[in-house]
Amino acid sequence: MKNEEFVWADSLEDTIKSFRIYVINQADERMQWYHRWFWIYKGAINLIKIIVILLFAFGTLLPLIVSIKPEIGKYLPWGYFCLTSGSLILLFDKFFGLSTRLTSFYITFIDIRTLKHSFVVDWEAIIINEEKPISFKSVDKLLEISKMFLQKVNELVRDETTGWTIDFQTRSNEFAKFINAQKTTKGPS
d(CA 37, CA 102): 8
Strand runs labelled E in 72-157: none
**Taking all residues of the chain, what is their mean pLDDT, rounded to a whole number?**
88
Per-residue DSSP letter, 7: -
Evaluate whether residue 118 is within a structural domain.
Answer: yes
Evaluate whether residue 62 is within a structural domain.
Answer: yes
Evaluate whether residue 80 is within a structural domain.
Answer: yes
Q: Give one DSSP letter per residue of 33-74, joined into a string.
A: HHHHHHHHHHHHHHHHHHHHHHHHHHHHHHHHHHHH-GGGGG
Evaluate whether residue 90 is within a structural domain.
Answer: yes
Domain count of the chain? 1
Residue 34 neighbours by CB distance under 10 Å: 22
pLDDT band at 132 (very low <50, low <70, confident <90, very high): confident
Evaluate whether residue 6 is within a structural domain.
Answer: no
Q: Mean pLDDT throughout 134-162?
A: 92
The residue segments making up the domain with residue 36 are 12-175
pLDDT at 70 over 70: yes
- Which of 18-22, 59-63, 184-188 is the least confident region? 184-188
d(CA 125, CA 83): 60
Evaluate whether residue 182 is within a structural domain.
Answer: no
Q: Is residue 16 packed enough to be buried (19+ CB in 10 Å), middle (13-18) or exposed (0-12)?
A: buried
At residue 76's C-alpha, the angle toward residues 73 and 77, to 5°, is 135
Evaluate whether residue 180 is within a structural domain.
Answer: no
pLDDT at 3 over 70: no
Q: Mean pLDDT throughout 108-131?
A: 92
pTM: 0.74
Evaluate whether residue 168 is within a structural domain.
Answer: yes
